[in-house]
Structure 1
């Protein structure tokens, strides 16, 4: 069975917040296909509108679909970046609707603010180190962890930028197997920073 991973993109997204998870799930899918199995994962990019989207540093992508036209998703990933276009009523309604059907929703970096605006931020979460204080002030019901990612069940949040790769490998392990996650990290020649998914007592910044 192939799981569809939807990655939301918007003008001003952080490039590695998108490209890192996309590469993890794409590589994991290729590895399972190479073993004669259906690809474990199929990542796709989705935008609010159909035109190309420009991230930070003029990193441009052409989404595979829009939030109104896409296949059913198993996982939704919300990247960070310049968040002006992400705090949109149509986008937040879509995120809320997806949460009703996906296995889990994950954020990278300031993508945690999308979760908060949508009313989905868990009691314990994380974001980029420079934005942790603002996230805590904006959503006082959430405690902020210093870990690179926090697995709160159906909501998973990651710290800044490269932490999204560590979180995505964790999700490969959670949704498929540890063996595939380790194979994926080796294929990417990436030093996977693993950690317990639960934040220990006292590991809270704000």
Structure 2
């Protein structure tokens, strides 16, 4: 989700569902203020994450255990990827395609979309685990 997530954050059933799905998923990805929902589950405690630049202070204030990164468009922390706003979500999505299926497929996907993505070792992103391929 993007935009205001307050109502969803307060929905215990949704947050519990998300927490359960995260426990069994190989990769969880949030775009923009979707990071607030992951934070609400506790999944981002002690971990680096980002969100839209307008919301980074609020994320840091509400969840002080989240290591909010303000200097990147997306963060790949192994099993969780978070991104800033809309186009940063596209960059992170292409990074994930590259990570899971190869950078060449990510480049072809970007070209098909007519999106100016330059993987040149994933500019604007941040990987925290050396075992996570570019």
TM-score, normalising length: structure 2: 0.84
| Greater helix fraction, Structure 1 or Structure 2 | 2
1:95-110 to 2 correspondences below 5 Å: 95-110=18-33
125, 128, 144: which one aligns with 2:68: 144
Deviation at 1:156, TM superposition (A): 0.6
The answer to whether structure 1 residue 177 and structure 2 residue 91 are counterparts is no
SS for the counterpart of 2:55 is helix
The aligned counterpart of 1:129 is: 53
The aligned counterpart of 2:14 is: 91
SS for the counterpart of 1:162 is helix
Larger CA Rg, structure 1 vs 2: 1
The answer to whether structure 1 residue 163 and structure 2 residue 85 are counterparts is no
The answer to whether structure 1 residue 117 and structure 2 residue 40 are counterparts is yes
Is the 2:39–2:66 Cα contact (8 Å) retained in structure 1?
no
Is the 1:80–1:112 Cα contact (8 Å) retained in structure 2?
no
Q: Structure 1: which 5+ residue stretches go unaligned?
A: 1-78, 200-206
The aligned counterpart of 1:192 is: 117
Distance 1:84 1:113 in 2: 9
Alignment RMSD (CA, Å):
1.4
Deviation at 1:197, TM superposition (A): 2.8
Q: Structure 2: which 5+ residue stretches go unaligned?
A: 129-134
Distance 1:198 1:84 in 2: 29
TM-score, normalising length: structure 1: 0.56
